[in-house]
């Protein structure tokens, strides 16, 4: 009877344990603080987290349906073992580019040959900031544009303002989220000012910049983030001590709204569009306008207005007379330095006259789309006259005649004055003399410098090895993974501890490693996990037959332990 009771109790215990280790999956969306959310903002980072718990190992990495709808900036995975219960976590740091309702999941994966499916998540993406109430230090971050409907290539002026009511708050930096299909140029600021919002007086810091959309459609400018510091309040003795220790401020982050702009396509035109914007002037000039035959004049085409200088095209001078020849020289562009300034684009050409006379370059035309009138228009310059003057012939150089040369030679015979021709003597240049003097001193200094450097390298060898211990170990693991050489992991671990602790390799023993890890603060359960891993590494060092799964698991554990040990020691 007693045996039956014990058997039933044991059965219940096993059943409870089996429920505890039952495999489960959970797909969720969390914010930067790790809290589950169902609504996020365009341009604001969030994390998609997949947790797999239970026994067994994965056959391959999971695939999450709908993940490609977002921009993935970073991904990572980790696993933990607590009381024999294994949990694997996959994290994807992503950003949404467009508002809407998204379905994320399910996650598909195989575990021990069995295909498994996770739950799905409904996610709402909006353009307004997700509520981040901070009653102790309220701030506002607002993003605005001067127009919400434009055509391709039209200039948009964006303004970002950080509002703060407490003068003790300090803005650290703005964090920009890149927008697709838009060119950002000419940032201006920062500028400061004061504004009253809802009866509250705010100071603000402002940046603005120019943007030019490249493609038609609905364009969303993602939210910007502002990182700022808030001073901690001193409420007790320890609050004062924290300031003395240099931790008197907390760093926080606030997000702006996102902005949606409608971008229209440029209407079709029979003539190619050479620019988009508002053009104030289109001029042609020559410098100089009068040149001699064979010389060149610089002819400049100048455009001024509200446009993107880098998107202006000009095919070259049109209908140039045959008596003139021109070459393309250079282009130059000047972006507007303020919201009200004009952009300038210049095209320069070198014009040469082939015949003497006064010749005229006819009016040049520029076809563009006017964003003010929403129509295609043509600008025309005035004609330009260039005068080619005859070239001035240069006199031929005067050379003495043969008779004059002979007379000079006969006038001063060497024998008449008692002079005799001698060979030209060699004179060493002063720079060569100085170089020959300096070379021995330079060689001596170089030798002494080399000896000092080698001595310094020898003295700091162990320090440098200790500093580079983990980076060196990671590089070795990458090489070993390619060749699947788990036998070398044991030697890699011994070398890692010897380098990090700056001791001889022969002094690194299992007992010494365990003692040092305990002294470094490793918990007892971690110590047991480390002993199991190091035992497996030692077994692989002296055996050659291993399955593919065992090799992958051992390298995965080695990488995880490398990260943990770097934090610990």
Domains in the chain with CATH codes: 21-126 (2.60.40.740), 139-264 (2.60.40.10), 276-389 (2.60.40.740), 463-568 (no CATH)
Confirm if 365 and 274 have CB atoms less than 8 A apart. Answer: no
Single out the residue of 152, 403, 351, 174 nearest to residue 261, CA to CA.
152
> What are the pLDDT tens digits along the chain (569 aa)?
445 554 544 544 443 344 344 457 888 998 877 888 899 888 888 899 988 887 666 777 788 998 888 888 788 877 777 666 778 888 998 888 888 899 988 988 887 778 888 899 999 988 888 654 443 447 889 999 999 999 999 999 999 999 998 888 888 888 887 777 788 888 888 899 999 888 888 999 999 999 999 999 998 888 888 988 887 765 554 455 555 555 567 888 888 898 999 999 999 999 999 999 999 999 999 999 898 887 889 999 999 999 999 999 998 999 999 999 999 989 999 888 777 888 999 999 999 988 899 999 999 999 999 999 999 999 999 999 999 998 754 444 444 444 444 444 444 443 433 444 445 555 678 888 888 888 888 888 888 888 888 777 767 777 777 888 888 888 888 888 888 888 888 888 888 888 888 887 777 788 888 888 888 888 888 888 888 888 888 777 766 667 888 888 888 888 888 888 888 88
The per-residue pLDDT for 410 is: 44
Residues near 290 by beta carbon (within 8 Å), at least 6 away in sequence: 386, 387, 389
- The total of other beta-carbon atoms located within 10 Å of residue 153's CB is 22
Confirm if 184 and 160 have CB atoms less than 8 A apart. Answer: no
Residues near 204 by beta carbon (within 8 Å), at least 6 away in sequence: 161, 162, 163, 164, 192, 193, 194, 195
Residue 56: phi, psi to the nearest 5?
A: 85, 170
Q: For the CA atoms of the chain, what is the radius of gyration? A: 39
Q: Is the pTM above the cut of 0.85?
A: no
The per-residue pLDDT for 443 is: 87
Residues near 230 by beta carbon (within 8 Å), at least 6 away in sequence: 136, 137, 166, 168, 169, 249, 250, 252
CA 466 – CA 475 distance, rounded (Å): 15
The per-residue pLDDT for 133 is: 41
The per-residue pLDDT for 76 is: 83
């Amino acid at each position: 009877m007693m045996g039956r009771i014990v058997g039933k109790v044991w059965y219940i215990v096993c059943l409870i344990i089996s429920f505890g280790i039952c495999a489960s999956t959970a797909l969720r969306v969390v914010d930067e603080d790790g809290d589950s959310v169902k609504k996020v903002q365009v341009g604001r980072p969030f994390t998609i987290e997949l947790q797999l718990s239970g026994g067994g190992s994965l056959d391959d990495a999971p695939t999450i349906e709908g993940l490609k709808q977002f921009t993935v900036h970073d991904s990572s995975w980790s696993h933990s073992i607590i009381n024999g219960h294994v949990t694997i976590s996959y994290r994807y740091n992503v950003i949404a580019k467009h508002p809407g309702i998204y379905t994320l999941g399910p996650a598909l994966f195989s575990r021990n040959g069995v295909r498994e499916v996770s739950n799905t998540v409904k996610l709402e993406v909006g353009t307004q900031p997700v509520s981040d109430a901070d009653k102790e230090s309220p701030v506002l971050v607002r993003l605005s544009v001067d127009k919400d409907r434009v055509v391709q290539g039209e200039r948009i002026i964006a303004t970002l303002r950080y509002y703060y009511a407490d003068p003790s708050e300090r803005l650290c930096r703005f964090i920009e989220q890149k927008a697709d299909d838009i060119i950002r140029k000419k940032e201006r600021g920062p500028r400061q000012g004061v504004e009253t919002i809802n009866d509250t007086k705010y100071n603000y810091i402002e940046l603005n910049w120019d943007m030019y959309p490249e493609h038609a459609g609905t364009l969303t400018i993602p939210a910007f983030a502002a990182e700022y510091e808030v001073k901690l309040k001193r409420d007790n003795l320890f609050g004062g001590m924290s300031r003395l220790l240099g931790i008197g401020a907390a760093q926080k982050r606030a997000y702006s709204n996102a902005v949606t702009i409608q971008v229209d396509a440029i209407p079709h035109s029979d003539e190619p569009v050479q620019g988009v914007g508002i053009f104030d002037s289109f001029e042609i000039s020559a410098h100089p306008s009068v040149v001699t035959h064979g010389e060149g004049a610089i002819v400049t085409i100048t455009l001024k207005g509200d446009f993107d200088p880098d998107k202006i095209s000009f095919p070259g001078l049109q209908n140039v007379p045959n008596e003139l020849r021109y070459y393309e020289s250079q282009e130059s562009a000047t972006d507007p330095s303020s919201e009200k300034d004009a952009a300038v684009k210049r095209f320069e050409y070198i014009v040469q006259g082939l015949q003497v006379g006064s010749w005229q370059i006819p009016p040049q035309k520029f076809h563009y789309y006017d964003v003010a009138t929403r129509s295609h228009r043509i600008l025309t310059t005035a004609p330009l006259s260039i005068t080619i003057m005859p070239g001035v012939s240069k006199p031929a150089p005067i050379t003495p005649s043969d008779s004059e040369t002979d007379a000079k030679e006969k006038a001063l015979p060497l024998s008449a004055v008692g002079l005799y021709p001698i060979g030209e003597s060699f004179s060493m240049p002063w720079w060569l003399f100085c170089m020959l003097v300096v070379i021995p001193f330079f060689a001596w200094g170089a030798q002494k410098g080399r000896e000092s450097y080698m001595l310094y390298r020898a003295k700091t060898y162990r320090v440098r090895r200790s500093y580079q211990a983990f980076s060196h170990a990671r590089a070795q693991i990458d090489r070993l993974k390619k060749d699947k050489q788990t036998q070398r992991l044991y030697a890699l671990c011994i070398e890692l501890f010897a380098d990090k602790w700056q001791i001889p390799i022969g002094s690194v023993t299992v007992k010494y490693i365990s003692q040092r890890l305990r002294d470094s603060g490793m918990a007892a359960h971690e110590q047991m996990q480390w002993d199991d891993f190091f035992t497996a590494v030692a077994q692989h060092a002296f055996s050659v037959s291993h399955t593919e799964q065992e090799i992958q698991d051992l390298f995965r554990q080695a990488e995880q332990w490398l990260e943990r040990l770097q934090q610990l020691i």
